[in-house]
Structure 1
Amino acid sequence: MATATEAKIYERINLALRDAPRNRYTAELHLQMIKYADDLKNVTAKEFCEGLGIASSFGSEFSKMRNLTERLKAAGLQVSML
């Protein structure tokens, strides 16, 4: 079960996905995964997908983006700017 903070994050992600152009859905999902990776560090890929109501196949993408976030931050990405 999602915490209140996680539920708010899922709501924000869903809004961003809803507003994304159809051909940019996956790119927007990746961006949102990177944006909230630190806040969702204790969430499993399965819980993430369930929280958003998306296919479980996106779970591997969530894991990849979370791992990629560390490298991007080390290279200077300011996640707060996303």
Structure 2
Amino acid sequence: MSNKAIFKQIKQAFAEAPRNQHTAELHLQMIKFADELKHITAKEFCEEMGLKQSQGTEFSKMRNLTARIKATGLNTELI
């Protein structure tokens, strides 16, 4: 899947999430696509998503968490 398609999917999921669930949805999407987005920086992620640069820390945390989550057997493709 191309980066363009990934970001489109993340933006759609974020837009469809209830307002009080935006942060949780963003975290889930970051985990879901962590492997595909491992070559981009947190800054690039925020720019593409139209987020504040401070959200870059969350992107980095979720990407680092993904390896541990996968080690438990969770299939991130099912998120």
In which range does the TM-score fall when normalised by the shorter chain? over 0.9
Aligned-pair RMSD on alpha carbons? 1.0
Aligned: 1:71 with 2:68: yes
Aligned residues: 79
| Equivalence map 1:1-82=2 (5 Å) | 5-82=2-79
Runs of 4+ more than 4 Å apart: none
Which 5+ residue runs of structure 2 have no aligned equivalent?
none
Alignment check: 8 A CA contact 1:7 1:51 kept: no
Report the 3-state secondary structure (helix = DSSP H, G, I; strand = E; otherwise coil) of the residue aligned with 1:39.
coil
Instruction: Give TM-score, length-normalised by structure 2.
Output: 0.96
1:77 positional shift: 0.7
Structure 1, gaps ≥5 residues long: none
The whole-number CA distance in structure 1 between the counterparts of 2:3 and 2:47 is 12
* CA shift for structure 1 position 49: 0.4
In structure 2, C-alpha distance between the alignment counterparts of 1:71 and 1:27, rounded to whole Å: 18
What TM-score do you get using the length of structure 1 for normalisation? 0.93
**What is the percent sequence identity of the aligned residues?**
57
Q: Which amino acid aligns with 1:40?
A: L
**Distance in 2 between the 1:74 and 1:13 partners?**
24
